[in-house]
Structure 1
Amino acid sequence: MGGVDILHVDDDKGLASLTADLLERKDSRFNVETAASATEGLQLLDDFSPDCIVSDFEMPGIDGLEFLEAVRAEHSKLPFILFTGRGSEEIASDAISAGATDYLQKQSGTDQYELLANRINNAVTRYHSEKQLRETKEEYAAVFENARNGLLLVDVEQDGFRFRRCNSRVQEFTGLSESELIGKTPQEALGDENARAVVGAYRTCVDMRETISYTVTLTHPVGEVVHEVNTTPIIRDGEVEQLVVAFTDITERHAREQKLREERAVIQQALDTLDEPLFVTDTHGSLKHCNRRALEATGHTEQTAVGTPITDLFPDNEREMITDAVDDALRTGRTTVTASLRLDSGQRQPYEFRAHSLTDLDNNIAGLVILGQDAPDS
């Protein structure tokens, strides 16, 4: 804690000056401003933002309790200590009820200022800690609410899970209102079938005690939704107490990817009907794809073929010719070369290979498609 600014209000100017001097001696961090009345104190508050107010009770015009009520109207959390020569349980009770942070009766001697300094220090420390906590919570709430992903805070209970909090994106992605989620178990909020899918993932996260990622399809009021999810455990005192579930709606992307997979499967089936070997390479001459005949002839699988230099499929004495042919096709767009493919049996089969360049969506060369046909003189 840095410097501590204190506003001391007392109509006894001599006592106010003495109190300010003694407090500043007790703690070098203290900076005390004095006011001779509650009215003057309220005026000072417009320009001076103290960390604590110390006020007398009996003052002309506005007394200490009325001053407290006026302060609380604008500063609900600011530490306010009633430091008064008039003491009674009734005044103390009224002060605490009105929102005073503390109550201290004036006494003779300087020991009371040691006590007052301690009370101020404790009140200000607590005030700043609570203020920082409020600000942290507000920042967290802002991040939570404005996240692009749907966010759920899930309590881990002894016999299951319960939704504690959600942001507006959850409602957007699911069509479920906050009242339909918060305070509910997955079964209550999502139905038995959906709940089985999410509860299984939640339990896995709790057991593994680390973030897990998964894709799940759920049926919501907005329809069937594919969620891409990250679930992270919050661990306190060695126990998983809560889960943070972050998810987004990938339904459209999933549909596009599924359509692309189906289209690729159709194309693959068409290529597999060819009796001739077909290869697809990148611009470096490494295999990206082969049809069934090419795999059968060379003894490769799709997994072992991908990444293999196409030159490895030919005898050593023909590899330079194949390299030149690949370069020529990439440069001119097409070429033809006759070469002997090394078969799985160890034999060689001559083919006339016709290579055509492939382009990407920006019309840049992306690789080659190479089709082998029986050599004219074979």
Structure 2
Amino acid sequence: MGGVDILHVDDDKGLTSLTADLLERKDSRFSVKTAASATEGLQLLDDFSPDCIVSDFEMPGTDGLEFLQAVRAEHSKLPFILFTGRGSEEIASDAISAGATDYLQKQSGTDQYELLANRIDNAVTRYHSEKQLRETKEEYAAVFENARNGLLLVDVEQDGFRFRRCNSRVSEFTGLAESELIGKTPREALGDENARAVAGAYRKCVAMRETISYTVTLTHPVGDVVHEVNTTPITRDGEVEQLVVAFTDITERYAREQKLREERVVIQQALDTLDEPLFVTDTHGSLKHCNRRALEVTGHTEQTAVGTSITDLFPDDERETMTDAIDDALRTGRTTVTASLRLDSGQRRPYEFRVHSLTDLDNNIAGLVILGHDALDT
């Protein structure tokens, strides 16, 4: 805690001067401004933001309780200590009921200022801690609510899970209102089938005690939705107490990817009908794809072939020929070359290879397609 600004309100100017001097001596962080009346104190509050107010009770015009009520109308949490020479249980009770942070009766001697300084320090420390906590909660709440992902806070209970909180994205992605989720178990909110998928992932996260990522398809009021999910455990004293579930709707993307996968399967089936070996490489000659005939001839599998250099499939004395052909195709767009493949049997067989460059959507060269025709069949 840094400097502590204090507003002391009392109609006894000699007392306020003494109190300011003694408090500032007691604690070097303290800086005291004084006001001779509640009205003056309220005027100072328009331009001054103290960390604590110390006020007398009996003052002309507006007394300390009325001053407190006026302060509380604008500053509900600001520490307010009633420091008064008039003491009674009734006044203390009224002060606390009106929202006073503390009540201290004036005594003779300077020891009371040690006590007052301690009360101020305790009140201000608590005030700043609570303020920081509120601000942190507000910041987290803003992040939570404005996140692009759907966010769920899930309580981990002895026999299952219960939704505690969600942001507006959850309703957008699912069509479920907040009232249909919060306070409910997955089965109550989502139905049996959805709950089994969700609870299974939650149990896995609790068991692993680390973030897990997964994709799940759930049926919601908006229809079947594919969720891409990250679930993170929150632990306390070694136990997982809550889960933070962040998800987004990838239904459209999943559908596009599924269509692309299906198209690739069709293309692969078409290429596998060829009786001639076909290879696809990147611009460096590294194999990206082979058809079935290419794998049969060379004795490779898809796993052992992909990532190797195309020249590794040829005898040593043919590799320079293939390297030159690749360079030529990258430069001119296409070329034809005759070279011998190294067969699965260890023998070699000549093929006439037609090499064509491939381009991406920006018309930049992305790789090569190499189709071989058995030279012995010509």
TM range (shorter): over 0.9
Residue pair 2:350, 2:376 contacting (<8 A) in 1 also? no
Residues in 1 aligned to 2:282 and 2:105: alpha-carbon distance in whole angstroms: 87
Residues in 2 aligned to 1:70 and 1:369: alpha-carbon distance in whole angstroms: 83
Residues in 2 aligned to 1:193 and 1:377: alpha-carbon distance in whole angstroms: 60
SS at match of 1:187: helix
The one-character-per-residue Cα deviations of 1:279-313 (angstroms, maximum 9, x if unpaired) are 11111111111100110111111111101111111
Residues in 1 aligned to 2:88 and 2:64: alpha-carbon distance in whole angstroms: 14
**Alpha-carbon distance, 1:189 to partner:** 0.7
The one-character-per-residue Cα deviations of 1:162-221 (angstroms, maximum 9, x if unpaired) are 111111111111111110111111111111100111111111111111111111111111
Following TM superposition, the consecutive aligned residue runs of length 4 or more in structure 1 with deviations greater than 4 angstroms are none
The one-character-per-residue Cα deviations of 1:227-259 (angstroms, maximum 9, x if unpaired) are 111111111111111111111111111001000
Residues in 2 aligned to 1:16 and 1:338: alpha-carbon distance in whole angstroms: 105
Residue pair 1:352, 1:376 contacting (<8 A) in 2 also? no
Residues in 1 aligned to 2:39 and 2:350: alpha-carbon distance in whole angstroms: 106
SS at match of 1:361: coil
Residue pair 1:176, 1:221 contacting (<8 A) in 2 also? yes
**Alpha-carbon distance, 1:377 to partner:** 6.8
**Alpha-carbon distance, 1:264 to partner:** 0.5
Give structure 1 stretches of 5+ with no counterpart. Answer: none
Tell me which moved more, 74-83 or 325-334: 325-334
Residues in 1 aligned to 2:160 and 2:377: alpha-carbon distance in whole angstroms: 75
- 2:356 is equivalent to residue 344 of structure 1: no
Residue pair 2:356, 2:368 contacting (<8 A) in 1 also? yes
Residues in 1 aligned to 2:29 and 2:340: alpha-carbon distance in whole angstroms: 90
Tell me which moved more, 130-139 or 335-344: 335-344
The one-character-per-residue Cα deviations of 1:92-131 (angstroms, maximum 9, x if unpaired) are 0000000000001111111111111110110000000000
Residue pair 2:355, 2:370 contacting (<8 A) in 1 also? yes
Residues in 1 aligned to 2:322 and 2:67: alpha-carbon distance in whole angstroms: 95
Residues in 2 aligned to 1:249 and 1:164: alpha-carbon distance in whole angstroms: 21
Tell me which moved more, 349-358 or 116-125: 349-358
Residues in 1 aligned to 2:137 and 2:111: alpha-carbon distance in whole angstroms: 39
SS at match of 1:148: coil
Residues in 1 aligned to 2:320 and 2:367: alpha-carbon distance in whole angstroms: 18
Residue pair 1:57, 1:84 contacting (<8 A) in 2 also? yes
Residues in 2 aligned to 1:80 and 1:377: alpha-carbon distance in whole angstroms: 101
Residues in 2 aligned to 1:28 and 1:77: alpha-carbon distance in whole angstroms: 24
Residues in 2 aligned to 1:173 and 1:119: alpha-carbon distance in whole angstroms: 51
Residues in 1 aligned to 2:289 and 2:49: alpha-carbon distance in whole angstroms: 72
Residues in 2 aligned to 1:283 and 1:3: alpha-carbon distance in whole angstroms: 66
- When the two chains are superposed, the root-mean-square deviation of aligned CA atoms in Å is 0.9
Equivalent in the alignment of 2:370 = 370
Tell me which moved more, 62-71 or 339-348: 339-348
Residues in 2 aligned to 1:377 and 1:324: alpha-carbon distance in whole angstroms: 25
**Alpha-carbon distance, 1:348 to partner:** 1.5
SS at match of 1:344: coil
Residues in 2 aligned to 1:269 and 1:377: alpha-carbon distance in whole angstroms: 24
Residue pair 2:82, 2:103 contacting (<8 A) in 1 also? yes
SS at match of 1:274: coil
**Alpha-carbon distance, 1:376 to partner:** 5.7
**Alpha-carbon distance, 1:19 to partner:** 1.3
Residue pair 1:214, 1:229 contacting (<8 A) in 2 also? yes
Residue pair 2:283, 2:367 contacting (<8 A) in 1 also? yes
Residues in 2 aligned to 1:185 and 1:229: alpha-carbon distance in whole angstroms: 18
Residues in 1 aligned to 2:31 and 2:336: alpha-carbon distance in whole angstroms: 91
| Residues 322 and 24 of structure 1, relative CA distance in 2, 3 Å threshold | same
Residues in 2 aligned to 1:151 and 1:368: alpha-carbon distance in whole angstroms: 45
Equivalent in the alignment of 2:247 = 247
**Alpha-carbon distance, 1:43 to partner:** 0.7
Residue pair 2:55, 2:83 contacting (<8 A) in 1 also? yes
| Residues 376 and 297 of structure 1, relative CA distance in 2, 3 Å threshold | closer
**Alpha-carbon distance, 1:330 to partner:** 1.3
Residues in 1 aligned to 2:306 and 2:245: alpha-carbon distance in whole angstroms: 37
Equivalent in the alignment of 2:304 = 304
Tell me which moved more, 191-200 or 365-374: 365-374
**Alpha-carbon distance, 1:144 to partner:** 0.6
**Alpha-carbon distance, 1:156 to partner:** 0.7
Superposed, 1:26-105 pairs within 5 Å as: 26-105=26-105
Residues in 1 aligned to 2:17 and 2:333: alpha-carbon distance in whole angstroms: 95
The one-character-per-residue Cα deviations of 1:356-376 (angstroms, maximum 9, x if unpaired) are 111111111111111111216
Q: So what's the TM-score if we normalise by structure 2? A: 0.98
Residues in 2 aligned to 1:268 and 1:194: alpha-carbon distance in whole angstroms: 35
Residues in 1 aligned to 2:246 and 2:364: alpha-carbon distance in whole angstroms: 38
**Alpha-carbon distance, 1:337 to partner:** 1.1
SS at match of 1:376: helix
Task: State, as a whole percentage, how many aligned pairs show the same letter.
Answer: 93
Aligned residues: 378
Q: So what's the TM-score if we normalise by structure 1? A: 0.98
Residues in 2 aligned to 1:356 and 1:80: alpha-carbon distance in whole angstroms: 83
Residues in 1 aligned to 2:308 and 2:19: alpha-carbon distance in whole angstroms: 87
Residues in 1 aligned to 2:366 and 2:47: alpha-carbon distance in whole angstroms: 69
